[in-house]
Amino acid sequence: MNESKTLRLFIADDEAVIRMGLKAMLTSLGHQVVGTATNGLEALDGVKRLRPDLLLLDIKMPQMDGLAVAEHLVTEWPLPIVMLTAYTDKALIERAANASVMGYLVKPVYENNLGPMIDLAIERFHATQAIARQAYELRSQLKSREMVDTAKRILIATGLSESEAYTRLQMTARTKRRSMEQVAEAIISVGQFAHPRTSP
């Protein structure tokens, strides 16, 4: 049995024999299969309802193929996805990469490949989520700095030096118990109100 954390997994494959085989292997590895689907629409619905830790998803399925499911989930319900495929088509693999698929298993799937791939997919997913969070934080910091700089320019225009303008922002933030960005936003709003843009 796998000593890693027990995961809640969902299987989507239109072949009953493959679903049963995967479920048996996953149970043997110490994981819990919380649901299965025979087509893409069932897979979407199941993931949204059950919120599994990982989705095992066949590429070729009725109603909605696995790649379409993955592309839909990446924006709405991101989770690690391992794609099950009998194909090695380069175009399919590129499309899957864009849908944040974290791993591939070529059928027939064997238990000695399944366990490591699940672990790898979870690890890759957490790494990509961490990178996305860092990018978001950097964008937020940049936006905050731009707002503070704009507010400083407005205060400098009233006769303050740059250091005085920055100190004024700091002191106002401290006394009003607000962030520098919130104070800067208020100053910018007042500045725009005091000097409204005129139509050309």
Q: Which amino acid appears at position 67 of this protein?
A: L
Residue 70's CB is within 10 A of a number of other CB atoms, namely 24
**DSSP letters spanning 153-195:** HHHHTTT--HHHHHHHHHHHHHHHT--HHHHHHHHHHHHHHHS
List, by residue range, all CATH 1.10.10.10 domains of the chain. Answer: 137-194
Class of domain 8-109: alpha beta
Cis peptide before 80 (omega within 30 of 0): no
Element (H, E) at 55: strand 54-58
pLDDT of residue 19: 93
pLDDT of residue 196: 41
pLDDT band at 1 (very low <50, low <70, confident <90, very high): very low
Per-residue pLDDT of 148-196, as tens digits, reads 888 888 888 888 888 888 888 888 888 888 888 888 888 888 765 444 4
Per-residue pLDDT of 33-76, as tens digits, reads 999 999 999 999 999 999 999 999 998 888 888 888 988 888 78
**Phi and psi of 59, rounded to 5°?**
-70, -50
Output the CA–CA distances (angstroms, integers) from residue 58 to 82, 128, 193, in the order listed: 9, 22, 57
Positive or negative torsion for Cα 113, 114, 117, 123: negative
Per-residue pLDDT of 84-104, as tens digits, reads 887 666 666 666 666 667 888
pLDDT of residue 193: 44
pLDDT of residue 21: 94
pTM for the model stands at: 0.62
List, by residue range, all CATH 3.40.50.2300 domains of the chain. Answer: 8-109
- Fold of the 137-194 domain: Arc Repressor Mutant, subunit A (1.10.10)
